[in-house]
A = this chain, B = another copy of it.
Amino acid sequence: MSDFRWDPLKNTWTITANHRERHPREFFIERQQITMTTCPFCPGLEERTPPEVFAIRPPGSPTNGPDWQVRVVPNKFPLLRIEGHLDRHTEGLYQAMQGIGAHEVIIETPEHAPWLSDLELGQMVRVFQAYRERLLDLRRDKRFRYLQIFKNHGIEAGSPVPHSHSQLIAVPITPPVLKTELNACRSYFQTNERCLICDMIAQELTDGRRVVYSDEHFLVVTPYASSSPFEMRLFPLQHNHDFALQNDTELANFAVALQSTLLKLRSLLRDPPYNFILHTAPPAHPRPGLPDYWSSLANDYHWHLELVPRLNRIAGFEWGSGLHINPMPPEAAARHLRNTDPSPGL
């Protein structure tokens, strides 16, 4: 179906789809648009998705019936499959393992519309409750080292389906981006006995130039070293390493901050394509023979959301170096966003 392959030069993993032979013509640039006649995420077409793994429904509403508010289903074309063993092995200088994991779609609303920001706050909270429940359920599977929740909005951000949804992918390795972040936080805590992200929040609030939005629960900033224009991070002010431990009140505070941020972005940049990625602590499974490294993250990690509009291309320099070029200073981006009314609609 797919496998994880490790490159000794780049020291990283790629997920390679092996399950279906594709013809080169599927990769011609002009054919990348997808057209759909009916939307498989709309109510009444539940049989066109795999059976739901979670849903928020009125009491008594039957599973896989149309009367849902938020619905989570396995991806019909999953990148990774949940059954099987990792079978980690070498192939000469290379390494591989089976494409074990989970790939789920969180359908955020029964309405056929692309904007998470248009949902009522109560509905946004239901979406976050679905995130929380899926994190709590999937982390019981000890094969998964990380559960990544993310959203693709717009064709250029990787979403061909114009019905508001996000995704969850569970992987059997700690993703490199998260590992770097966890190591940075761990190292900072060991030196300073303080949380790196708490200290970043304090510095940003004092400085003020990169603040997009703040209230008594959340801070939204354009990062000091933003890698792309109008990139943002949403931080809860209250230290907590784990999104899955947030109660409903905290989820409601998050909804207020995220809705305002998404509306500003949409209004200022005419509904740009964007991705967001939830950064939260990995499941803390002690592993035999290894130091119990991630099991004590409560002090040194701090969950947050990364929001990245897809406005510039990655070209040869960025790909080859790993360095990003940002044509928009984050201080100017924050000023524009701060001054934009979060009014609904375009």
A259 within 8 A of B: no
Kindly list chain B residues whose C-beta atoms are within 8 Å of the C-beta of A10. 177, 180-181, 184, 225, 227
Assembled-state Cα–Cα distance A327/B40 (Å): 22
Question: A29, B150: Cβ atoms under 8 Å?
Answer: no
**Footprint of B on A, CB under 8 Å?**
5-18, 21-22, 24, 27-29, 79, 91-94, 146, 148, 150-152, 156-159, 167, 169, 171, 173, 175-178, 180-181, 183-185, 188, 196-197, 199-200, 203, 207, 223-227, 229-230, 268-270, 272-273, 275-277, 279, 306, 308-309, 311-317, 319-330, 332, 336
Question: B7, A322: Cβ atoms under 8 Å?
Answer: no
Kindly list chain B residues whose C-beta atoms are within 8 Å of the C-beta of A9. 180-181, 184-185, 196-197, 200, 223
Q: Name the residue on B nearest A315 (C-beta).
A: B158
Question: B225, A6: Cβ atoms under 8 Å?
Answer: yes
Q: Name the residue on B nearest A314 (C-beta).
A: B314
Which of B92, B200, B277 is in CB contact (< 8 Å) with A8?
A: B200
Question: B158, A313: Cβ atoms under 8 Å?
Answer: yes
Assembled-state Cα–Cα distance A147/B26 (Å): 36
Assembled-state Cα–Cα distance A317/B321 (Å): 20
Question: A321, B181: Cβ atoms under 8 Å?
Answer: no
Question: A199, B317: Cβ atoms under 8 Å?
Answer: no
10 pairs, A vs B, C-beta closer than 8 Å: A7-B224, A8-B196, A11-B184, A17-B325, A29-B270, A93-B203, A150-B315, A150-B317, A175-B322, A279-B320
